Amino acid sequence: MNQENPIWQSFDLLQNTLLPGMKLGWNLVTRSERLLTSWKSEDDPAFGDFSYRIDIQGYPQAIITKGQDIKYRAGPWNGIRFTGTPKMSPNWLYTYTFVLNQSDIYYQYNLVNPSVFTRLVLQPNGLLDRLFWMESKQEWDGFEPISPDQEKILHWSQGCRHTIPLDCNPMEGFNKYTNLKLPDTRESWYNETMTGVECENMCKRNCSCTAYAHLNISGTGNGCLLWSGNLTDIRTFVDNGDTLYIRFSASELGNSQTIVLF
């Protein structure tokens, strides 16, 4: 077989399981997507209702869909983790990364200890489980879901609105909100090299811009993520969330109670 031009590669057809070294996302050169698809049931490997994928409409983000409907949004990558998964932290079992360049967009994890066997499984009910092989029991044990609250938030409709409409007045500014899951990025714009000051100025000059955030919080924290229109699927975490700067009229600046979640 010609290894340089293979006819079929199992790692490109993920089905319901993501193994170490597999890529969840897109090859932009061939326009091919690698995604997880749930089984129809626990003992029926036919295609089920749910998919776990990297959505590249706007700034890329990880989502779970049922048909055309988004049921869970892990959020965009902030240089350390997906913003909607604050418990996603470095550990001694595996490392993870997110690649975004001209040819590839993908999430991947790799084992720190090759003696550990783990897999990420999209279950028939749409939940993501990380399973570990327990040699003593000769069975796969569940470790924890990608998000501890994932089961409770599969059906989300949260967004936010202003109590006083914006009118592009030059006195408008931004209130800072911390420990958040950043809004849905499908209607976003991003630049990976802009500074924080440049990001704020660009949002303020654009009358349709409703909020901004720093794209990469690791290292120097460069990068800019802008939203226009509604801010959808914002959540507050106890800690380890991200910072969002939301546009307000001059009369509302400094008043953190003027943003309404619904």
Q: Is the per-residue pLDDT at 95 higher than 70?
A: yes
Higher pLDDT, 214 or 248: 214
pLDDT of residue 10: 55
Residue with tokens 């044990």: 141
Higher pLDDT, 94 or 121: 121
Nearest to 52 by CA among 88, 8, 10, 22: 22
**Could you report the per-residue pLDDT of 124-172, keeping only the tens digit for each?**
999 888 887 777 667 778 644 444 444 443 333 445 556 566 777 888 8
What average pLDDT does the chain have? Answer: 81
Contacts of 201 (CB under 8 A, 6+ apart): none
**Could you report the per-residue pLDDT of 244-260, keeping only the tens digit for each?**
998 888 777 765 443 43
Lowest-confidence segment of 44-58, 201-215, 218-232 by average pLDDT: 218-232
pLDDT of residue 156: 36
For the segment 207-234, the average pLDDT, to the nearest whole number, is 86
Q: Which amino acid does the sequence have at 231?
A: L
Nearest to 118 by CA among 138, 93, 136, 137: 93
Please, how many CA atoms are within 13 Å of residue 196, restricted to the half-sphere of its CB? Answer: 10
- Cα 46 from chain centre: 27
pLDDT of residue 159: 54
**Secondary structure in 3-state letters for the chain:** CCCCCCCCCHHHCCCCEECCCCCEEEECCCCEEECEEEEEECCEEEEEEEEEEEECCCCCEEEEEECCEEEEEEEEECCCCECCCCCCCCCCCEEEEEEECCCEEEEEEEECCCCCCEEEEECCCCCEEEEEEECCCCEEEEEEECCCCHHHHCCCCCEEEECCCCCCCCCCEEEEEEEEECCCCCCEEEECCCCHHHHHHHHHHCCCEEEEEECCCCCCCCCEEEEECCEECCEECCCCCEEEEEEECCCCCCCCCCEEEC
Nearest to 124 by CA among 260, 16, 5, 254: 16
Give the whole-number percent of the chain exceeding pLDDT 90.
40
Q: Which amino acid does the sequence have at 15?
A: Q
**Could you report the per-residue pLDDT of 1-60, keeping only the tens digit for each?**
455 665 545 556 788 999 999 999 999 999 999 999 999 998 899 999 999 999 999 999
Q: Is the per-residue pLDDT at 63 higher than 80?
A: yes
Residue 88 CB-density burial (10 A; 0-12 exposed, 13-18 middle, 19+ buried)? middle
First to last CA, the chain: 57
pLDDT of residue 101: 95
> Would the pTM of this model clear 0.75, i.e. be above it?
no
**Strand 36-41 with 44-55, pairing:** antiparallel
pLDDT of residue 207: 87
